Amino acid sequence: MKVALLTSGGIAPCLSASIGRLADQYYKQYPDVEVIGYLNGYKGLLLGKSISINNVDFDKLYNFGGTPIGNSRVKLTNKEDCINNGYIKSNENPLEVAAMQLKKDGVDILHTIGGDDTNTTAGDLVNYLDQNNYRLTVVGLPKTIDNDVYPISLTLGAITAAQQTAFFFKNIVNENTTSSRQLVIHEVMGRNCGWLTAKSAKLYLDELNDRLFLPDLNIFKEKWSIHAIYIPENNIQLDKEIYRLNKVMDEYDCVNIFLSEGAGINSIINDMKNQNITV
C-alpha cells in the first residue's frame, strides 16, 4: 500500500502534527506501508516532486509549526496560473497532469490537509481517475483557523490560533498605558466567520478573571478588558457604537476592540447605498 500526503492553502497550526500522527498510525498498523509527501501541495503533485516520510520519531513533529512538506495556494482549476508558473505546459490540463502523477506514483490513498478548495479539488481527482479505471481513495482533513467547515465542530489549527491570538493581545493591551485616550484595535482573521475572534476573546477574558489588579495604582481590570467585539455575523450600528465607546474612553482613558477582518462590511455597503455611492 502506498499513501501520499499533501498540505495546501493557507498556513495553520497542526499541519506538522497531523502529518506526524497520520504517518505514525500508518506505520503502526501497516509496517510495510510506503508514505510520501508531495512538496508544496498541488504544486509538488504537478511537478512530480515528493519526499519519503520514513518511520521516525514522529512525536517531534508535534513541537513544530508550519508543515515539513511545504504549502502553496496552487489550484488545479486555475490553468492559466499553472501555465504561467511553469507547473504545466500550455497544452496540458492541470487536473489531468496531477491525476496521472498519482497513477504513475502508484498512490492508493491520498490525504489532503487543507480547506475547501484543497478538498473539493481532491474530489475532482477521484472522479477523473475513476473515469480512467484507477481506484484512488481520498481522505480530506479540514484545516482552517476560521473553524467554518460545517458540520465539523473543530477544524485543525483553530484552537491553537485562538490561544495564540489571546496570548498576543495579552501583550498588546499594555499599549493602552503609553498615552492618554489610547485606542487598541486587535484585528483577527475571519472574512465571513467570527469564530476565531469570539473564541480568542473568550479565552482572553477567562484568563483576565484570574489576574490581580492594583486599582490604587491605576491598574484596574476595565483598562485591560475588551470593550467591543465585532464579527461578520452581526451588523454594527456605527452611530450607537461611536457614542458608547466615547463614553468608555472618557471613563477608562482607553478602548480595546476585537475586530474580525470581515466585520462591518454590510454596514459599510448599506451606508454607501444610502449615499448613492456605487459599490
- E-strand ranges in the chain read 2-7, 34-38, 50-52, 109-114, 137-142, 182-188, 228-230, 254-260
Q: How many CB atoms lie within 10 A of CB 34?
A: 17
How many residues are given for the chain? 279
Query: What would the grid cell of residue 69 be?
Result: 512538506
The catalytic site residues sit at 146
Strands 109-114 and 228-230 turn out to be unpaired
Give the Cα separation of 143 and 16 in Å (integer): 12
| Rounded Cα–Cα distance for residues 245 and 227 (Å) | 8
Residue 5's closest CA among 45, 47, 32? 45
Phi, psi (degrees; rounded to nearest 5) at 5: -120, 145
Question: What does the alpha-carbon distance between residue 162 and residue 205 come to, in Å, rounded to a whole number?
Answer: 12
The helix/strand count (H/E) of the chain reads as 10, 8
How large is the C-alpha radius of gyration of the chain?
24
Residue 147 zone, left/alpha/beta (φ > 0; ψ -120 to 50; rest): left
